[in-house]
Structures are given as structure tokens and as C-alpha cells.
Structure 1
Amino acid sequence: MASASKKWARDVYFVASRLYFLLILFQVPLFRFPCRIGKCTTPIEVSLSLLYANGVIPGGMVKAMLYPGAITKAIYKNNVVPSYGKLLEAYKFTNMKESPATHDLQNLEVIVGSYLSVAGALLGLLKSGRFSLIGILLITWGLDKQVLFRNSTSVVIYPTMLIALLSAFFSIRADVTKLIRFSKPKASYRNIEKQNITRVKYAS
């Protein structure tokens, strides 16, 4: 029974972690949030815009991470795929807005959550971890805080955030294993009860 639970958990983790990775890599819009490039809709855009603006990563690495999502967006919107050389211009990375330090501090949950989400998507391909879930929870809390306490109309959470949240949760193999083990005894107990009732009927 334990081996069956581990197998189920491994399969669920494999599917969930790959789904989460694809959501992040192909830049499926999860939210709308004002950032350095004007408007960010994915954790990758939030993370890369800050890292590139601060000179932490070069433009070549930024383009390599943005290009899969650029292709997906172009196909979805039936637009021309932007050239790789002009990708930074297409994403407005070459014309970023100046952001005061107070703005970054006020949105620290979204920023840190975006970093963890991207890191969790990459690390999740190798082993199970909680970076993805923590990142999505931080982003959700940061966006909710903007809407609830500051009445911000420029912040929106899309329904796809729920898919990202669920895939992040099920990519934690240890938690999935516990969940499966917790649900199986109940099912077995019900089967035993049904068998006993059947035997009583036949005996009578």
C-alpha cells in the first residue's frame, strides 16, 4: 500500500510540476500588475524586469527566457512572432520606467513571490520542493493586499492563478503522498463494510 501511494504521488508530482513549469515558461497570464515595463502579467516579467534593470543578468539570458512566451503569445493572438534580436524592445525592457524604492518595498510580496515562482518552476523539474507554492501564495497575498487595502484598480488576478496554485501544491511530493495515504484507509474501510454487509445478507 505504501509503495502504491508513493507511485501515485510520483505520477501526480510529475504531471503537476511539468504543468507549473509550462505555465511559467510560456508566460500564461496569471495577473495584471504595474511594473518597470508598464504592465506585468507573469512572474517571469516581474523577475526579469527587476534583474535586468539592476544589471544582475545580461540581455542574452533575458531574451532566452522570454522567447518561449513570446512565441506562445504571438500564436495565441495571431500576431507575427517578434524577432529574437528585438525581443527586449518588444517587451519594453529598453525603455523601463524608473521605480522608486518605496514602490518595490510596498510590493515586496509580489517581487519575492515572482522570484520564488520562477526558481520553483526550474527546480521542480529536478526534485520536489515548496518554492513554487510559497511563491504563488506570496504573489496572491501581495495582489490581494493591493486590491483590498489600497483599492488599486490596476491590479487584477486572473482565474489561471488557481491552476498555478493547484499545480504548485501537487508538485510537492511529500504532501501528495500524505494526502493519498490519508484518503486510502477510508476507502478501504468502506469496502470492508460493504463486504461485511454482503456476507450478512448471504448468510441470512
Structure 2
Amino acid sequence: MATSSSSKGWLSNLSTYASRVYFFIIILQIPLFRVPCRSGMCSTPIQVTSSQLIASEIIPVSVVKGLLYPGAITNGLISNMTVPSWDNLLNIYNLTYAKEASAVTDLQRLEVLAGSYFSVAGALVGIMKPGRMSMFGTLLIIWGLVKEGILGKPVNTDPAKAVFVYPTMLIVLVCAFSSVKYDVKKVMRSAPPRPLAKPLKSSSKSKLK
């Protein structure tokens, strides 16, 4: 009985655990793909989002740095055991001249750009309340990568800028789907009851005869 109750408790909290794993993968900038962007080559949704935010100047640069800094610390400690400077953050990610970069790259990959926005927002919101935003963003990114990798749209002739998908994308996809909480009992409760079939009057009279 204890084992079954503990397994039920774990399954009921599956969306919370999946959202946390999804959050850490996104915020720590674990490489998921490789795709051209305004800053050169981006490998995470935060890098794609940050390059677009810096270019469009929608939000302050300090907010963009706040998104980049956790991943920059992680990458710095793993690569050379150093903590990157806050002031040098834009140079590390090659975002200093993102405003002058061509917008054609983003326009050609709208699915990846929009999916990155949803993925980052879903990761942040999912810590407080798991939802479908992460799943929607992940599916958009995957569709954009599949469209370019398999269908060849947009056409890419430079091997150095070829689209690549890392195996970690599968983990993100599983976490994105698992973060959606499906309440089967609520669905069954909200479903309208089926009307019972009543015998026809003519058939009941014929039986009496």
C-alpha cells in the first residue's frame, strides 16, 4: 500500500518535476540545436531570444543580461573554472553588434524564433504554474528545425551554418509534454451525460400483442 501511494504521489507531481527540469535546461543554456541567428550561431532558446531582444530594444539590456548570466556562469565554470564578468556578457555572446546584423536570418526562421520566445517564457512561468507554453514553444522549434533540415527551407549552402539538433532536444520534448497536467477526473466530470435510449412506443405495443 505504501509503495502504491508513493507512486501515485510521484505521478501527481510529475508536471512539477518536469517543469523544473525544463527550467534548468533552458536557463542554464544546455545546447539543444545549432542554428544561424543575429549573433552568429545560436544553440539555445535563450541565445535566440536574447539576440532578437537586443536588436529590437524591446526590454532593457540588463534584463537580457539577467537571462544570459546563469548559463554564462555554468559554461564558464565548466570550460575554464571562471565566472564571466557582467559587463563583458554581451561580448561573450557576440551581441554587441546584434542591432546592425541583418534581420533576414530571423525572418527565415520565424518558427525557431517564436518557439524560443515561448520556451523561455514557459520555463519561467512553469516554475510557478506548469502549463502548455513550454510544449507549444518546443514543438515550434522542432518544426522550424525539421523544415530547414529535411525540407531545405531556407536553402543553406554554407556547411558551417548547417542546422544541427543535439540529443538533449529529446529530453526537452519529454519534459515539455510531461509538464502539462492532465486531470482525467475533471474531464470525465465535465463531460455531459449520455442520454439513455428509450424504446419506441410502437415496439412496446407490438410486444404486448
- Sort the TM-score into its range (normalised by shorter chain): 0.7 to 0.9
- Higher radius of gyration, 1 or 2: 2
Unaligned runs of 5+ in 1: 179-204
Indicate the SS of the match to 2:41: coil
Structure with bigger RCO (C-alpha 8 Å, 6+ apart): 1
Given that residues 16 and 170 in structure 1 are in contact (C-alpha distance below 8 angstroms), is that contact kept between their aligned partners in structure 2?
yes
Given that residues 32 and 40 in structure 1 are in contact (C-alpha distance below 8 angstroms), is that contact kept between their aligned partners in structure 2?
yes
Tell me, in whole angstroms, the C-alpha distance in 1 between the residues paired with 2:63 and 2:12.
Answer: 32
Partner of 2:179: 171
Indicate the SS of the match to 1:124: helix
Tell me, in whole angstroms, the C-alpha distance in 1 between the residues paired with 2:16 and 2:31.
Answer: 23
Indicate the SS of the match to 1:39: strand
> What CA deviation, in whole Å up to 9, does each residue of 1:66-100 have, x standing for no partner?
11000111122235322111111111110225223
Partner of 2:29: 27
Counterpart of 2:144, as a letter, is G
Partner of 1:122: 124
Unaligned runs of 5+ in 2: 185-209
Counterpart of 1:140, as a letter, is I
User: Greater share of helix residues, 1 or 2?
Assistant: 1
Distance 1:136 1:130, change over 3 A: same
Calculate the TM-score normalised by the size of structure 2. 0.77
Counterpart of 1:67, as a letter, is Y
Counterpart of 1:90, as a letter, is I
> What CA deviation, in whole Å up to 9, does each residue of 1:98-149 have, x standing for no partner?
2234x33321100000000001001111112111011111101101111112
Runs of 4+ in structure 1 deviating by more than 4 angstroms, as ranges, are 3-6
Calculate the TM-score normalised by the size of structure 1. 0.78
Tell me, in whole angstroms, the C-alpha distance in 2 between the residues paired with 1:60 and 1:100.
Answer: 22
Q: Identity over the aligned pairs, expressed in percent?
A: 50
Tell me, in whole angstroms, the C-alpha distance in 1 between the residues paired with 2:69 and 2:39.
Answer: 16
Counterpart of 2:102, as a letter, is S
